[in-house]
Structure formats: C-alpha cells, structure tokens
Amino acid sequence: MTALHLALWNHGQMDIKTRGKIDSAQVVDTLLQAGAACHTEDRRSGKTALHFAVETGSLELTRLIVEKCGVPETLIDSKNFDRRTPLHVAVLLNTLSEDNKIDLVRYLISKGASKTAKDKDRMTPSSLVQASQTKLLEVFEDGVSSPSAVIYSDDDSYGSPGAPGGLLSP
C-alpha cells in the first residue's frame, strides 16, 4: 500500500469526530503534489488510488484524485483483483445515502466510467444496483449503450466477441 492509498483508506476508517480534525483532502493533495503515483495498484487488492477514494464515499476525494491524476481510461476503468472498476465500487457502497451515491456514480460516469464493464462475476455496475434503488437505476438508464457495445479489456478474453466461448461463439 502506498502512502496515497493509506491516506485514502484511513479517511474511510476514521469516525466523523476524528475526520473533522484531520483534513484528508489536504493530506492527499500534498502527497499528489509531492509526486505520489495515482496509477499504482495495491499489491494485495489491485486497487488504485481512485478505488480507495471512491471507497471513502467522498465525492471531494474522488474529484481530487480525478482532477490531479487526469482521467485516462486506464484509471477511470481500472480493475481491482475482483475486476471491479471504481464505478462498481461506488454502486456497492452501503455507507452512503442514495442521493450521495447517485452524485458519486454520476460524477464517475461524467468522467467516462464504463457502465458496461464486467467484474469477475460478469456483473456490470448497473446489475449490482438493488431493485429498491430506483433513482440510482435511472442514472444507468440515461443514455444506456446497446448490449453490443459492451466494453472488454484486452485481458477479458472470456467475454470478448472473438474469443472461444465469447459472444460470437456458437
């Protein structure tokens, strides 16, 4: 775990009283200004700084990582060892109100996060949304891509159109 990962992870572990005394955004910003690498993956989980930022549930920290690190597809759609992108992680957060979760999800989508990326269980972010979260489901229905537009990474051969057993296989 890098210092940047640790700063983001600790933000999510602090109680609200302690969090009020420590400005995690300032710590993260200082680390980024000092050259902390945004794209480095945690060796135990495969998470990037963006995964950790999203896990905190903080839109402020998520924006800080995106703004300071840029949003190349390799970061916004980076996959951890469960093959989950930051958007998958945002949908699975159960510590946020639905409105805060919607804000986080909308922000990631506005920055180009793939709504069709699949995790190790072949689940897209929208398929992880609980049926009772109707407002969140609507976010995914806005401008939904057709099923043929599913995005696969280079190492996603089990679902690639031309791969054995893939979408085009008999």
The ranges assigned to domains in the chain are 3-144
pLDDT in tens, 4-47: 666 676 665 566 666 555 667 888 888 888 888 888 899 999 99
**Would you give the distance in Å from CA 148 to the centre of its chain?**
23
**Span 60-77, average pLDDT:** 86
31, 7 contact by CB (below 8 A): yes
Residues present in the chain in total: 170
pLDDT band at 148 (very low <50, low <70, confident <90, very high): very low
Ramachandran quadrant class, 70 (left: phi over 0; alpha: psi -120 to 50; beta: rest): left
- Looking at 31-45, 67-81, 152-166, which range is the least confident one? 152-166
What pLDDT was estimated at residue 6? 64
What pLDDT was estimated at residue 16? 62
Residue 10, amino acid: N
What pLDDT was estimated at residue 101? 93
Note the pTM of the prediction, 2 decimals: 0.74
pLDDT above 70 (res 68): yes
What pLDDT was estimated at residue 19? 56
Architecture of domain 3-144 in this structure: Alpha Horseshoe (1.25)
pLDDT in tens, 79-128: 999 999 999 999 999 888 889 999 999 999 999 999 999 999 999 999 99
* Chain mean pLDDT for the chain: 78
Please choose, from the candidates 73, 33, 76, the residue with its C-alpha nearest in 3D space to the C-alpha of residue 54. Answer: 76
